[in-house]
Amino acid sequence: MKASTRRNLGLAVIPLLIATMFLQAAIDPSVREINKGQKTAFQGLSGEFVLGPLLGLQQAVAGLLWVRADEFFHSGDYDAILPIVRMVTWLDPHQLDVYITGAWHLAYNFTDSSERSDRRYIPASQRLLEEGDANNPEIYDIAFELGWQNSDKIKDFARAEYWYRKASTRHGADERGQAKAPVPMFVWHQLAHSLARLGRLEESVDIWKKALAMSEDFVKKNPTDFSRRNVRGSEVHNLELTQKRIFSRYKHELDWEVDAKVGKGVNRETGEPLSRDTFVFVTGSEVSQKQSAYAKAGLSAPAMAVGAPRPPAIEPTWNTAFDARPLFTAPKVLEVKGRFNVGDGARVTVRLHDDSYRTAQLKEFTFDINQDQTLMLDQHSVRAGTFGRKIDMSKDPKMYSFKSNIYYLVFEFNPRATSPFIQDRFGWSGEGMADPKYLWTDSSLQPEVRWIRKVYRITREQVFGGSIPESAVVSNEEYARVMAEPGPAK
């Protein structure tokens, strides 16, 4: 291009720029009025957020964006946080806190008016953490968070064990940010707990022994480190308690009130409480009570006498006599009444979902969810053999759209997810648990686990008000088969 041509074009652009400036100035007030009150993830951001990445300052910009996200956390503008999380992880894929906090936000912060989590976001939360772990394969933090979310929120103890075990092979960041520090001991502790939740008790004991050996070696070298000595004390407690509970369920029952007063520890090789007097019948009334329990179960009682060892805690079989009766008293308002002979403090899970619901398997992270899908999960505590309350879903149409025609209403109890003092009645995997109607054995896990589960197949019309007949109950086998299949086409 000739110099004269370039000069003429430049002179022609100048009046166009001036005209554009005047036109923009005239438009801006109207645009501000139209968008008055609206907030976006970019509102208030200065030019460095745009120029920074262009100048190679991605990490600095990522940090500034995360500060911006913190403002939205405190103001409760949760929707605005998600695009910032995505931008920060793109700019700096080594920001561990962003992955962890963003995933926690997805899994825990989106709730209905009764503080029930919107569990449709959990697959996205998991996928975000998996992406973060892939980008930081030497650090334990995100793998541990995946383990925690699976054990605490999802109750998928097999996946929890997988991620805790992976975390245990990693390193923590040292004072220079290098992946050279050993993982914290709580990684090993949670691995042991997850194995117990899976019914793999001897493996759990082995992990507690390994953790204790590491702590004892550290304390020998650093005898004034009282924090680590406290950790060692917790490991001794958990190891011996686990061994006592195994012994009580499968060898000889312990009386946790009486025996605790005379017990002096545990043989860590055999798991037998010391002294031996801690698991024998003390009075004749104890013997009579145990004999009555066998008689009520229709079983022949073994020989029992004062001074003799008690039989295992899970004998005889424990009849839970479970039942649940639901009723929609108003559109999207569910009233639940149930009975459960299992002990105060146990929790019954109530889950309602459309027939197309399947846990999403995301290949890539996205926070876009299927808004047409309905999924509600609640937990009801057992008190004096009963459970239930009102579940009002009418206030949250965005979360509970009820656009499908068919739904499954599920009541279930997983013995592996319950409290230890409830488990002590029938074993980690429900070995001593029975029910004439709703016992279901999941043989896909080893050792297998026995659930209590009652499932209704209901219609949209029933959700919007009406009784639910017992003829709507489907078998556990049928429900398991349906959930194993792909969802119906939309």
State the CATH number of the domain containing residue 152. Answer: 1.25.40.10
Q: Record the pTM.
A: 0.84
User: Taking Cα atoms as reference points, which of 180, 183, 229, 225 lies closest to residue 207?
Assistant: 183
Of 250, 272, 303, the residue that ends a domain is 250
pLDDT digits (tens, 9 = 90+) for 81-139: 788 888 888 888 988 988 998 999 999 989 999 999 999 999 999 999 999 999 999 99
Least confident of 14-23, 139-148, 186-195, 467-476: 14-23
| Domains in the chain, number | 2
**Do residues 406 and 354 lie in contact, with contact meaning Cβ atoms separated by under 8 Å?**
yes
Least confident of 75-89, 200-214, 424-438: 75-89
Q: Are residues 224 and 359 in the same domain?
A: no
Residue 153 or 38, more confident: 153
Cα-based distances in Å from 123 to 117, 137, 223, 477: 13, 21, 45, 25
Of 205, 224, 250, the residue that ends a domain is 250
Q: Are residues 242 and 117 in the same domain?
A: yes
Model confidence at 177, pLDDT cuts 50, 70, 90, reads low
pLDDT digits (tens, 9 = 90+) for 317-361: 889 999 999 999 999 999 999 999 998 999 999 999 999 998 888
Mean pLDDT of 155-179: 90
Q: 40-54, 61-75, 175-189, 468-482: which has the highest mean pLDDT?
A: 468-482
Question: What's the pLDDT at 51?
Answer: 44
Question: What's the pLDDT at 84?
Answer: 81
Which structural domain range is residue 60 located in?
Answer: 48-250
pLDDT digits (tens, 9 = 90+) for 230-268: 999 999 999 999 999 999 999 999 998 888 888 888 999
Does a structural domain hold residue 200?
A: yes
For 439, the 3-state DSSP assignment is strand
For 95, the 3-state DSSP assignment is coil
Q: Are residues 237 and 344 in the same domain?
A: no
d(CA 481, CA 479): 5
Of 217, 250, 283, the residue that ends a domain is 250
Model confidence at 45, pLDDT cuts 50, 70, 90, reads very low
Q: How many CA atoms lie within 13 A of 466 on its CB side?
A: 10
Alpha helices in 348-450 (DSSP H): 420-423
Cα-based distances in Å from 2 to 6, 180, 257, 443: 6, 62, 100, 82
Secondary structure letter of residue 471 according to DSSP:
G
Question: What's the pLDDT at 54?
Answer: 43
Question: What's the pLDDT at 56?
Answer: 46
Percent of the chain with pLDDT over 90: 65
Q: Are residues 153 and 60 in the same domain?
A: yes
